[in-house]
Amino acid sequence: MALYQEQSLKMYNSMTGEKEVFKPINEGTVGMYVCGPTVYSNVHLGNCRTFISFDLVFRYLKHLGYKVRYVRNITDAGHLENDADSGEDRIAKKARLEQIEPMEVVQRYTIDFHNILQKFNNLPPSIEPTATGHILEQIEIIKTIIEKGFAYEVNGSVYFDVKKFNETNHYGKLSGRDIDNMIANTRELAAQSDKKNPQDFALWKKAEPQHIMRWPSPWSDGFPGWHLECTVMSTKYLGEEFDIHGGGMDLKFPHHECEIAQGEAATGKNPVHYWLHANMLTLNGKKMAKSTGNNILPEEIFSGNNDVLDKPFSPNVTRFFMLQANYRSILDFSDEALKASEKGFNRLMDAYHAIDELPVSDKSSVDIKSWKQSCYDAMNDDFNSPILIAKLFDAVKMINNIKEEAATITSEDKDELQKTMSAFMFDVLGLLDKVSENNDTSDKLSSTIELLIKLRAEARNNKDFALSDQIRDQLQEMGIQLKDGKEGTTFTIKPA
């Protein structure tokens, strides 16, 4: 029997506002789509939080034995500066400023995104499609939406007719907006707009002469509207109706509302069964965002190179910090919170490594079976990772009690404890075992260089300049530069 048949997973569906028992369309398989990044700059820690939240969902579904197809897109065209349909394309703008090809921008920041998520130990999605790779499919769906009467063409651009759609469907049902009211209360159209109503959104935009990212279509040389790619790529790979759609809370409106409208207009079917929205990471109480500059980059945390930090933190500890909050709660970033997480993380890992050495008895005074189920109960309750972590700390207490002979455990229970902790810590939460962590290696490298610096100083004191120069020159050849200063010798390592 698969684990998912024994456990009853509930998830909070933003569409209904309730925690619902999860029932996939096809037993044993799950289709999950998550909105990916717009690759025009380095991902900040806020972006990472959303992708870590959905990595937790992906990991737990897999752990339960589901065969999961996880699709996460790369937005490489069509996302304009303003989430409404105006401004320059974000990628084209960056390309213009840096005087490079838009696809060079896309390549650079896609690689950055993958590198960072790998450092956080996120699993790659099953399919990672791009908007530019699906222009033909986007043109086809626009034709269908026009045929069904829910879109209109003006001057080479095509807009979705929200008012018309709302006569038979409910635009605004996900975000709780009353569009009829909004339309009735909007007197004027935005200046120079081709739209019938300001609520209408672009499916296709005619490119201005200076717009470099353009494709031919029946309506004009232009580019697709931002919302369309997700409708096309989710349904292409997961079907017209699929199980889970995720994204950051800030995408609920207009992005996800528009996705629902496009899907329903094209197929007459409600595309998504469970809508999951991850909450924001804040800094100084405000949302981390690229546009405001109120953000911190993951590399700044790993190097400690930011004024808000006293010291560096590893990707592992940073991930643990994020998982200590529920994915639906706002989480505020701070140096103190990370320090506390680091302490907790070390305590958890040390306890896990102590299991091997625990003495065994004929009888257990601890109840491993019910503790194990309490770990599942936490995750079954809408992926409640902070409660799961609290349960793991209950196990830390148990381990310490057994070590101090204040409790006993049988050999079978000890195996079960170790297996369960490993499954939840490494497979579900996606933490890495401390001994295999990057920072551990770099700590060792730093200590080794410090040792060589000391030996070089000794050689100099002994006037053995041949040896001291040899140490300096050979380190230099390896890309490690020593610098002698008033405070002693420091070193820098040239990045590989």
Residue placing its CB nearer to Zn ion in the complex, 35 or 432: 35
Give residue 176's region: left, alpha or beta (phi > 0; psi -120 to 50).
left
Q: Is 70 helix (H, G, I), strand (E, B) or coil?
A: strand
Q: Which is nearer to ligand AMP, 288 or 399 (CB)?
A: 288
Q: Shortest approach of ligand AMP to residue 248 CB, angstroms?
A: 2
Task: Rule CB under 5 A: choose which of 230, 378, 389, 417 binds Zn ion.
Answer: 230
- Nearest Cα to Cα of residue 127 among 51, 260, 233, 224: 233
Closest to 92 in 3D by CA, of 216, 265, 209 = 209
From the CB of 494, what's the least distance to ligand AMP, in Å? 31
Q: From CA 212, how far away is CA 90, in angstroms rounded? A: 12
Give the nearest distance from C-beta 75 to Zn ion in angstroms: 7
Q: How far is the CB of 34 from Zn ion (least distance, A)?
A: 8
Beta carbon of residue 177, minimum distance to ligand AMP (angstroms, whole number): 18
| H helix or E strand, kind and range, residue 291 | none
Whole-angstrom Cα distance, residue 9 to residue 14? 16
- Between 270 and 401, whose beta carbon lies closer to Zn ion? 270
Q: Rule CB under 6 A: which residues touch ligand AMP?
A: 35, 37-38, 46-47, 49-50, 247-248, 250-251, 280-281, 287-289
End-to-end, the C-alpha distance of the chain in Å comes to 48
Q: Which does 254 bind (CB under 5 to 8 A by kind): ligand AMP, Zn ion, none?
A: none
- Choose among ligand AMP, Zn ion, none what residue 63 binds, the Cβ cut-off being 5 to 8 Å by kind: none
Residue with Cβ nearer ligand AMP (39 or 135): 39
230 binds, among Zn ion, ligand AMP, none (CB under 5 to 8 A by kind): Zn ion
Segment interacting with Zn ion (CB under 5 A) among 28-36, 97-105, 202-210, 396-404: 28-36
331 binds Zn ion (CB under 5 A): no
Question: Quick check: 39 binds Zn ion (CB under 5 A)?
Answer: no
What is the DSSP annotation of 394-421? Answer: HHHHHHHHHHTTSS---HHHHHHHHHHH
Q: Minimum distance from CB of 76 to Zn ion (Å)?
A: 13
Smallest separation, CB 124 to ligand AMP (Å): 16
Q: Identify which range of 27-35, 48-56, 422-430, 470-478 contacts Zn ion by CB under 5 A.
A: 27-35
35 near Zn ion, judged by CB under 5 A: yes
Question: CB of residue 50 vs ligand AMP: minimum separation in angstroms?
Answer: 4
Q: Pick the closer one to ligand AMP by CB: 33 or 376.
A: 33
Q: How far apart are CA 57 and CA 59, in angstroms?
A: 5
Of the pair 290, 472, the CB lying nearest ligand AMP is at 290
Does residue 153 contact residue 146 with C-beta atoms inside 8 Å?
yes
Residue 47, binding choice from ligand AMP, Zn ion, none, Cβ under 5 to 8 Å by partner class: ligand AMP
Backbone angles phi, psi at 320, to 5 degrees: -60, -40
Which tokens belong to 191?
């200046």
User: Which residue, 204 or 327, is less far from ligand AMP as judged by CB?
Assistant: 327
Distance (Å, rounded) from C-alpha 347 to C-alpha 390? 13
Q: In this structure, which amino acid lies at residue 161? A: D
CA distances to 352, 389, 473 from 421, in Å = 7, 10, 48
Minimum separation from the CB atom of position 25 to Zn ion (A) = 20
**Helix spans in 128-281 (H):** 135-147, 162-168, 179-185, 226-238, 257-267
Select the binding partner of residue 166 from Zn ion, ligand AMP, none (C-beta < 5 to 8 A, by kind): none
Strand order across the beta sheet in which 67-72 lies: 67-72, 29-34, 242-248, 272-278
**Helix (H) or strand (E) segment spanning residue 357:** none
Task: Give the range of 166-174, 191-199, 225-233, 434-442 binding Zn ion by CB under 5 A.
Answer: 225-233
What minimum distance in Å lies between the beta carbon of 256 and Zn ion?
7
| Closer residue to ligand AMP, CB minimum distance, 73 or 138 | 73
Q: Which is nearer to Zn ion, 145 or 230 (CB)?
A: 230
420 binds, among Zn ion, ligand AMP, none (CB under 5 to 8 A by kind): none
Q: Which residues pair with 381 in a beta bridge?
A: 10
37 binds, options ligand AMP, Zn ion, none, Cβ within 5 to 8 A by partner type: ligand AMP
Is 358:390 a contact under the CB 8 Å cutoff?
no
Tell me which residue of 237, 230, 280 sits closest to 257, measured CA to CA.
230
Q: How many residues in the shown chain lie near Zn ion by CB under 5 A?
A: 2
Token pair for 385: 């990772």
Task: Kindly state the smallest distance separating residue 199's Cβ from Zn ion, in Å.
Answer: 19
- d(C-alpha 108, C-alpha 61), whole Å: 31
Residues of this chain that bind Zn ion (CB under 5 A): 35, 230
